[in-house]
Amino acid sequence: MPRESRYAYGDQLYWVEEASTDIGREADVWVRPESDMHSWSWAKKIHRSREAWVLMEDGQGPIALWTSEKEVITLVEGKFYRLDHIELRPDRRGTGLGFLVLALVACRALELDVVGLVLRCIPALRSFYETAGGEARTPKGWNVPYGEMLAFTFPEAALRSLKARADEHLDQEEDEERVRRDGGEGGAAADRGAGADLSRAPDLDPSRGRGARTARRAERRRR
């Protein structure tokens, strides 16, 4: 997940960068529905976490955040990336962007050479994480002392499948420029290993593919 990579989704471009407490303050004032179980301050979580990341939308600012307070934890099965908090901006929910955000989390986890990812979630999100390739189970050695919260594990194969989904949305023009600059292989062509079956998951963007993104790049050049 090179920090300078851009991801095309719909008509917008997105990128990931490290989140600052100022970004957290912006997220703290997002207008959330009353049904949300949001009880934390992003600014405080970012300050206390070992790492924090934000998905930025071109011209719109922060769209999603996630934090990991310990980054990598060692359990019986091996090393896992621990995802502690994650949120998509309320006005972007229901668009499919949640899958892209989770796919980018998987990209980050794989950078750290882990065997999987662990997280806690409310029961209402069980279907979302299962569709994305997660398993509703607690890996041996990890305690989840949070009432009715569910433990989810994403094995390495599921992470690689999610990464392949993210790679499909790399903005090819941006990625090719990075390849020319770095002299390496493009993210869009690399690391497409087989993994969990995501055929039940909705396309990150079912109505727009690489052809549409090519058309948009041509339009930008004409401007």
The least confident of 115-124, 146-155, 168-177, 202-211 is 202-211
What are the residue ranges spanned by the domains of the chain? Answer: 7-194
Containing 53, the helix (H) or strand (E) segment is strand 51-57
| Per-residue pLDDT at 72 exceeds 60 | yes
Average pLDDT over residues 184-202: 38
**Contacts with 55 (C-beta within 8 Å, 6 or more apart), sequence order:** 14, 15, 16, 62, 63, 64, 65, 100, 101, 104
> C-alpha dihedral over 166, 172, 177, 183, to 10 degrees?
60
Q: pTM here? A: 0.79
Q: Which CATH superfamily is domain 7-194 in?
A: Gcn5-related N-acetyltransferase (GNAT) (3.40.630.30)
**Contacts with 48 (C-beta within 8 Å, 6 or more apart), sequence order:** 69
